[in-house]
Chains A and B, each alone.
Chain A
Amino acid sequence: MLFRRFAKFTLPKLPFTDNSLEPIYDKKTISFHWGKHHQTYVDKLNQAVGENDYTLLDIIQNQSQNSLPLRNHGGGHYNHCLFWLCLGSNSSEQPSGKLLAHIQKQWGDFSKFKNEFNQAAINTFGSGWAWLSVNPEGKLVISSSQNQDNPLMKGIFKANAVPFFTIDVWEHAYYLQYQNKRPEFVDKFWKVVNWKQVEDMYEKYALQQRPVPVDKILG
């Protein structure tokens, strides 16, 4: 080969400036989390993909059960993209509109939902994520996963659903600022959620049972 194959996946730009989530989520953590950890997932994903022409959604939904590198690094790339999309300054601390109504219908009130989500995040043993998804029956479901697994992964996640809201509870996501105090990180996370974006992903994708094309949205 006279030329190198163009790398398929790239690290997207953050949809917020790296200091705009301070003091909850500081610039140093964001720059390591995005610039080192997420970048490494992208690099290793490209190595694992090789010459194959997979889309990120295909990797997450289908290829992940056939290949551990695709599961780990494809998951890492997808999950971090979704996480960045969920974050922003000027958080309203809870959603409005259809998503709020849906949450209230299922949990009675927002704080009951928030507590259940927090418990899922706090009680994940080791590295993982907590998720809010819409299942094929149209219900909102809270779940958690280990490592870089994702509710879209067929054959890996028992009951697939379309996630649109997530929190990263790998230690690297919070250790510089919070150390072992994961509950404090989880509690403060709600102050930096970009509900407008989350509601958009819920209405346009999750409710329609279409996986959120996180890499395309971030561009």
Chain B
Amino acid sequence: MSLTDLPYPVDFLSEVLPERIVQIHHDNHHKGYLTKLNEFIDKNMKYNATYLKDLVKGAWGHVGLERYAGGLYNHYLYWWTLTASNCTNGAPIGKLLTDIISKWGTFEVFQSRFDDLAKVTFGNGWTWLCVDKTGLQLLNSYYQLSPLMNTGDNICYPVLGIDLWEHSYYLKYTSDRDAYISDFWKIVDWDIVEYFYEKYASELTAVPF
């Protein structure tokens, strides 16, 4: 596997995430997960020729997969669901909006619940909007774990995640993680998130990175 390029120029998110953060995050951190995953697969050839999404789904209990397949997948979802602030409507418009309102009452309440979960994450992790067999959920995970790794009926298919590791925001926001969480909404690409929701997650299928 080689690392897919960002789906936009490196300064595309710069109203919230400056070029330097995006460049280091993608070319160093994200790529690092790919390097480590390739090393891991070299030593564990039974995982060769498995799709990334399936490596993530089967990761529970296998530290190498939890860290490196998780890290690789999570960052793809992150980059693909972000866009320039002037390229997004700031909210979904179709079935996803209807289902968010059905679950949380208003879109603002959904955002507020998402923010609350993100703010209480201690150390490294992610906050997710995902879909399980009962519908939309908000979940936290630590390190590079993903709700895709949940076993049995608890599996939850993510459509949007915020990376809360310090490397995601530190060069601009330093200790003010709450400001990053608040600004994150300006660059969410709701068109893509809705697409992932309707085509994959609602069908209880993983976005096929």
Query: Could you list which residues of chain A lie within 8 angstroms of chain B, going by C-beta atoms?
Result: 32, 36-37, 40, 72, 125-127, 146-147, 170-172, 175-176, 179-180
Q: Is the CB of A172 within 8 A of B165?
A: no
Given the complex, which residues of B lie within 8 Å of A172, measured CB to CB? 166, 170, 174-175
With A171-B166, A176-B170 as contacts: A126 and B24 at CB distance below 8 Å: no
Question: Which chain B residues (154-209) contact chain A, with CB distance < 8 Å?
Answer: 165-167, 170-171, 174-175
A176 to B29, CA, bound (A): 15
Q: Is the CB of B67 within 8 A of A125?
A: yes
Q: Is the CB of B174 within 8 A of A72?
A: no
Q: Is the CB of B165 within 8 A of A126?
A: yes
Given the complex, which residues of A lie within 8 Å of B9, measured CB to CB? none
Q: In the complex, which residue of chain B has the Cβ closest to the Cβ of A181?
A: B28
B124 in contact (CB, < 8 A): yes
Given the complex, which residues of B lie within 8 Å of A146, measured CB to CB? 123
Q: In the complex, which residue of chain B has the Cβ closest to the Cβ of A175?
A: B170
B32 in contact (CB, < 8 A): yes
A16 to B32, CA, bound (A): 35
Q: In the complex, which residue of chain A has the Cβ closest to the Cβ of B20?
A: A179
Q: Which 6 A-B pairs have the closest CB atoms?
A: A171-B166, A36-B175, A126-B124, A180-B28, A147-B123, A175-B170
With A126-B123, A147-B122 as contacts: A179 and B166 at CB distance below 8 Å: no
Could you list 18 examples of A-B contacts with CB < 8 Å? A36-B175, A37-B175, A40-B175, A125-B67, A126-B143, A127-B123, A147-B122, A170-B123, A171-B165, A171-B166, A171-B167, A172-B166, A172-B174, A175-B170, A179-B28, A179-B167, A180-B28, A180-B167
Distance to closest chain B CB from A107 (angstroms): 27
Question: Which chain B residues (114-168) contact chain A, with CB distance < 8 Å?
Answer: 122-124, 142-143, 165-167
With A172-B166, A175-B167 as contacts: A72 and B122 at CB distance below 8 Å: yes
Question: Which chain B residues (18-59) contact chain A, with CB distance < 8 Å?
Answer: 24, 28-29, 32
How many residues of B are counted as interface, with CB atoms below 8 angstroms from the partner's CB atoms?
17
Distance to closest chain B CB from A31 (angstroms): 10
A146 to B29, CA, bound (A): 19
Q: In the complex, which residue of chain A has the Cβ closest to the Cβ of B66?
A: A125
A12 to B32, CA, bound (A): 37
Q: Is the CB of B29 within 8 A of A170?
A: no
Given the complex, which residues of B lie within 8 Å of A126, measured CB to CB? 123-124, 142-143, 165
A171 to B170, CA, bound (A): 8
Distance to closest chain B CB from A72 (angstroms): 5
Given the complex, which residues of A lie within 8 Å of B123, measured CB to CB? 126-127, 146-147, 170
Q: Is the CB of B32 within 8 A of A170?
A: no
Distance to closest chain A CB from B170 (angstroms): 4
Given the complex, which residues of A lie within 8 Å of B170, measured CB to CB? 171-172, 175-176
A36 to B166, CA, bound (A): 14
Q: Is the CB of B67 within 8 A of A180?
A: no
Given the complex, which residues of A lie within 8 Å of B143, measured CB to CB? 125-126
Given the complex, which residues of A lie within 8 Å of B165, measured CB to CB? 126, 171
Q: In the complex, which residue of chain A has the Cβ closest to the Cβ of B143?
A: A126
Q: Is the CB of B29 within 8 A of A175?
A: no
